[in-house]
């Protein structure tokens, strides 16, 4: 099988070294979970990392593949003028996905060199052990289509991932509710806590097929930015044997940061 690693991670810049130094003690659980995933992804020896992002070139009715030779990660908008990481694109596999999917799934192609923190932060953190020789990258942006269509998109991609000779790692980037406390950036809603608990319970019981069945109003009220990434990953993992490890969950700033490893069996 060509799928060698799968995870769900937050993308807050507060976990990057040049921005979040003063937050390291506050985000200890998240930091420890990322360290665990660093070891796991490095040991899996991936040729290519597919990262499913909550930001970037988001279209309402189509999924987006980014096809450009090199991706550049900068965090200047968060006050970090130092960080600049470059990653090579897996142009061949991205083009193959387009050819395979475009007859059954609405696909949009873009060519954007600069990628946002939804892609950049997980790459900076998880690919650190690879040094100057990281795997190639395939960024995938979700859409605003319904939950079932996101899950189905993942199911369609599964065959391309399984049948390739490349070793593929998948990172679903996203965060849970942004409305957990009165100090949350999107204000408070009691449904934010309810949403986070439901997602966490589904993952802990290894029933990712239930994710598309979550109440739409609950997800909307939670003010999340990662549920659709998780839906696509769940679709990819459909019918594959795995065990979900929820490595950490914390919300010190009123945003739910959950880190999970989907251990392939």
Report all structural domains of the chain as residue ranges with CATH numbers, in order of start: 3-176+224-264 (3.40.830.10)
Could you say which DSSP state residue 77 is in?
Answer: G
Coil, strand, or helix at residue 146?
A: coil
Dump pLDDT digits (tens) for 84-126.
Answer: 899 999 999 999 999 999 999 999 999 999 999 999 999 999 9
pLDDT at 53: 92
User: CB atoms < 10 A from the CB of 39, how many?
Assistant: 10
The alpha-helical segments, DSSP class H, found in the chain are 28-44, 91-101, 117-126, 147-163, 190-204, 216-222, 227-237
Burial of 106 (0-12, 13-18, 19+ CB in 10 A): middle
Query: What is the model's pTM?
Result: 0.96
Residue 20's pLDDT is 66
Which residues of the chain carry a pLDDT beneath 50?
A: none
Paired tokens of 55: 């930001």
Q: Tell me 134's DSSP state.
A: P
CB 228 within 8 A of CB 54: yes
């Amino acid at each position: 099988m060509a799928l060698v690693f799968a995870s769900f991670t937050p993308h807050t810049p507060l976990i990057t070294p040049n921005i979040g130094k003063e937050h390291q003690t506050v985000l200890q659980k998240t930091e420890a979970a990322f360290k665990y995933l660093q070891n796991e992804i490095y040991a899996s020896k991936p040729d290519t990392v597919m990262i499913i992002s909550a930001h970037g070139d988001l279209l309402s009715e189509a999924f987006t593949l980014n096809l450009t030779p090199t991706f550049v990660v900068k965090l200047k908008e968060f006050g970090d003028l130092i960080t600049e990481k470059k990653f090579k694109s897996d142009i061949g596999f991205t083009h193959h996905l387009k050819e395979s999917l475009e007859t059954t799934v609405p696909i949009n192609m873009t060519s954007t060199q600069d990628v946002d923190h939804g892609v950049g932060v997980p790459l900076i953190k998880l690919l650190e052990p690879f040094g100057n020789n990281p795997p190639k990258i395939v960024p995938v942006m979700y859409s605003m289509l319904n939950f079932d269509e996101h899950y189905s998109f993942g199911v369609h991609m599964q065959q391309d991932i399984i049948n390739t000779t490349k070793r593929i790692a998948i990172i679903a980037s996203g965060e849970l509710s942004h409305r957990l406390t009165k100090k949350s950036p999107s204000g408070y809603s009691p449904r934010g806590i309810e949403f986070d608990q439901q997602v966490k319970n589904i993952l802990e019981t290894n029933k990712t097929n239930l994710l598309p069945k979550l109440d739409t109003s609950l997800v909307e009220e939670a003010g999340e930015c990662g549920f659709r990434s998780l839906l696509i990953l769940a679709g990819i993992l459909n019918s594959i044997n795995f065990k979900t490890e929820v490595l950490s969950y914390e919300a010190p700033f009123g945003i739910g940061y959950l880190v999970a490893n989907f251990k392939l069996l």
